């Protein structure tokens, strides 16, 4: 994955503007060597694009882009994959101090996960994603929430639908389980800013144990709105690597924001793909776009003041440190 000239320039800018220690709160990792080609040709949704991605590949990416910055990653397996992945993630965290382990589970997590792992992630099934009736508690059953609450662990919450559909249940769960930090992945599956997001954020503000991650979010306006409403203590830098190591763009189709990349996935039509290819040479890795969007948003909200530096420190490091590393 060589960087092009534009990406190298962005990487230099990023290195000069980011804190010296970064925690990426959303990194997928897998031990499997097979499928060195990273793209899953049978993918039908963006999240299925990558098959396998061992830690060493992340490390070489971090080194190339961030050079001497210290890069810590909250690591978890891949959705729908063999959960022996958890053993690998645990092994990584014991071998590399820069690796914070998250437990991935599709059923009730095994007893004792909270002692070994810093957080829990469970995925909505495709059936849950497509049903308007799906609830958070279908993805995270009561037993899982209770154990996370008892051990005061974070859950990384990929909502079955979006934050607008789940707001009431989310607020109720956050009040019922004060020991859990609810980290809402992908800004609640809202990829482009919308005005009514301000109301949602206002409603969430008093619930201090609800936070957001920036996984695959490249919209500075949406991030800026979040910071302006919630302050800097409720947003965590997360990338969704290796998924974020693609070059692509977001577009709107059938009232949904979708991601388009160089691979012609089944959900991208031919005309749209041809348009994409014409412009693709100007695109940068989504990973860099996420970071640029955060830096841009912070600058926009705070201007050239010392608060800008503090805000970056919170979003890129301190918030995640409090949640994942402030453990006993």
- Binding stretches for Zn ion (CB under 5 A): 240
Q: Which is nearer to Zn ion, 7 or 240 (CB)?
A: 240
CB of 79 to Zn ion, least distance (A): 7
3-state helix, strand, coil split of the chain in percent (to 5) is 45, 15, 35
CB of 123 to Zn ion, least distance (A): 9
Q: Which is nearer to Zn ion, 158 or 166 (CB)?
A: 158
Question: Do the strands 248-253 and 256-261 form a parallel or antiparallel pair, or are they unpaired?
Answer: antiparallel
CA distances from 259 to 51, 126, 154, 286 (A): 18, 17, 28, 10
Residue nearest to Zn ion (CB): 240
CB of 291 to Zn ion, least distance (A): 17
Distance (Å, whole) CA 174 – CA 183: 11
CB of 44 to Zn ion, least distance (A): 16
**Secondary structure of residue 53 in the 3-state scheme:** coil
Distance (Å, whole) CA 136 – CA 142: 10
Q: Which is nearer to Zn ion, 243 or 314 (CB)?
A: 243
Distance (Å, whole) CA 111 – CA 114: 8
CB of 215 to Zn ion, least distance (A): 6
Residue whose structure tokens are 């007893």: 111
Q: Which is nearer to Zn ion, 239 or 308 (CB)?
A: 239
Q: Which is nearer to Zn ion, 162 or 240 (CB)?
A: 240
CA distances from 114 to 23, 44, 119, 154, 255 (A): 20, 33, 7, 10, 39
**Secondary structure of residue 231 in the 3-state scheme:** coil
CB of 133 to Zn ion, least distance (A): 24
Distance (Å, whole) CA 306 – CA 325: 26
Tallying the residues shown for the chain, one arrives at 328
Q: Which is nearer to Zn ion, 75 or 165 (CB)?
A: 75
């Amino acid at each position: 994955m060589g960087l092009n000239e534009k990406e190298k320039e962005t990487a230099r800018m990023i290195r000069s503007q980011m804190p010296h220690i970064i925690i990426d709160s959303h990194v997928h990792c897998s031990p499997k060597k097979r499928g060195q080609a990273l793209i899953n040709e049978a993918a039908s949704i963006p999240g299925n694009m990558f098959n396998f991605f061992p830690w060493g590949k992340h490390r070489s990416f971090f080194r190339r882009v961030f050079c001497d910055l210290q890069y810590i990653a909250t690591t978890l397996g891949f959705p729908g994959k063999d959960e022996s992945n958890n053993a690998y993630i645990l092994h990584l965290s014991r071998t590399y101090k820069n690796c914070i382990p998250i437990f991935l589970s599709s059923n009730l997590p095994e007893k004792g996960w909270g002692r070994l792992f810093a957080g829990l992630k469970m995925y909505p099934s495709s059936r849950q994603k497509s049903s308007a009736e799906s609830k958070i508690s279908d993805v995270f059953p009561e037993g899982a929430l209770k154990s996370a609450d008892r051990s005061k662990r974070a859950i990384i919450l990929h909502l079955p639908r979006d934050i607008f559909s789940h707001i009431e249940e989310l607020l109720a769960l956050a009040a019922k389980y004060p020991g859990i930090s609810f980290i809402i992945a992908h800004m609640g599956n809202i990829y482009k800013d919308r005005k009514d997001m301000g109301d949602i954020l206002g409603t969430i503000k008093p619930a201090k144990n609800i936070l957001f991650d920036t996984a695959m979010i490249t919209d500075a306006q949406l991030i800026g709105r979040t910071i302006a409403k919630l302050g800097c203590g409720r947003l965590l830098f997360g990338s969704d690597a290796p998924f974020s190591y693609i070059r692509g763009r977001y577009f709107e189709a059938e009232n949904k924001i979708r991601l388009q990349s160089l691979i012609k996935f089944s959900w991208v039509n031919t005309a749209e793909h041809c348009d994409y290819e014409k412009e693709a040479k100007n695109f940068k890795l989504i990973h860099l776009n996420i970071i640029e969007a955060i830096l841009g948003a912070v600058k926009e909200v705070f201007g050239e003041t010392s608060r800008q530096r503090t805000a970056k420190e919170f979003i890129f490091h301190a918030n995640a440190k409090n949640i994942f590393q402030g453990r006993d």
